[in-house]
Amino acid sequence: MSEIVYPPVIKAAQGVFKALDIKFRLEGTERIPRTGGAVLVSNHISYLDFIFAGLAAHPSGRLVRFMAKKEIFDHRIGGPLMRGMHHIPVDRQAGAASFKAALTALKGGEVVGVFAEATISRSFTVKDIKNGAVRMAVAGDVPLIPLTLWGPQRLWTKGRPRKLLQRGVPVTILVGEPMYPKRGDDYDKATRDLRGQLSELLEKAQREYPELPKTGQEWWQPAYLGGSAPTPEEAEALDLKELERRKSDRDA
């Protein structure tokens, strides 16, 4: 597969990270295989997560093909970049085609990136997830690798203004132990186990994060750690309200 676009995009991103003095902490990157397919499952806290999650695979020399909503591929600038990096569009009205494309990539030895929560978590905890990632790993006979991010929400997340030029923000990237679900397993149980791993990794990243919010900046800290982010219940209500608004807009 031709890689004309992806490497220059990575180089450009690394240049920006250096200019902004982003302080990275990466752990467990050796758990991402150097060859063969794998499903990399990340939590979702910002609009920049695919950039940072992809960094976890660089020490293994891998490029991650992320599954992303179709609307990004329709964008006049983002679309050509996404297609050039061979990411996988997800049309929620035609999920089978997206699954098939991801499976083809896995069987071709690619690492496929998945945000199993589907949307950004406003509470900065791991939302309920469906069993699609587990089914994908089983169908492709590849490992399922959990990954968590913490810090990117400070740069750009749902409901907050962008602060892309903020300097010196620490970003934590933790890769967990691979899971190996097999055909015949209870996929819902495997999904609960996956969510449990993601939650444990995320709590570790949050509790060990080198900075605390300054006064007036508590919004980026989860409620259970004393921050002012919505609780999971409040976040769910906000998501439902947004979903209803979008449906109303489409109907109109």
Q: How does pLDDT run across 92-111, given as a tens digit for each residue? A: 777 799 999 999 999 999 99
Is there a domain that residue 228 lies in? no
pLDDT value for 95: 79
pTM of the model: 0.96
Instruction: Using the Cα atoms of residue 63, residue 64, residue 65 and residue 70 in order, give the sign of their dihedral.
Output: negative
Select from 107, 96, 101, 71 the least CA-distant residue to 86: 101
Is there a domain that residue 48 lies in? yes
Is there a domain that residue 222 lies in? no
Is there a domain that residue 234 lies in? no
151: left (phi over 0), alpha (psi -120 to 50) or beta: left
81: DSSP letter: H
Is there a domain that residue 20 lies in? yes
Is there a domain that residue 221 lies in? no
Burial of 146 (0-12, 13-18, 19+ CB in 10 A): buried
Residue range 175-193, pLDDT digits in tens = 999 999 999 999 999 999 9
For residue 147, give the CATH number of its domain. Answer: 3.40.1130.10
Residue range 208-236, pLDDT digits in tens = 999 999 999 999 999 999 999 999 999 99
pLDDT value for 94: 73
Domain count, the chain: 1
Residue numbers of the domain that contains 127: 6-216
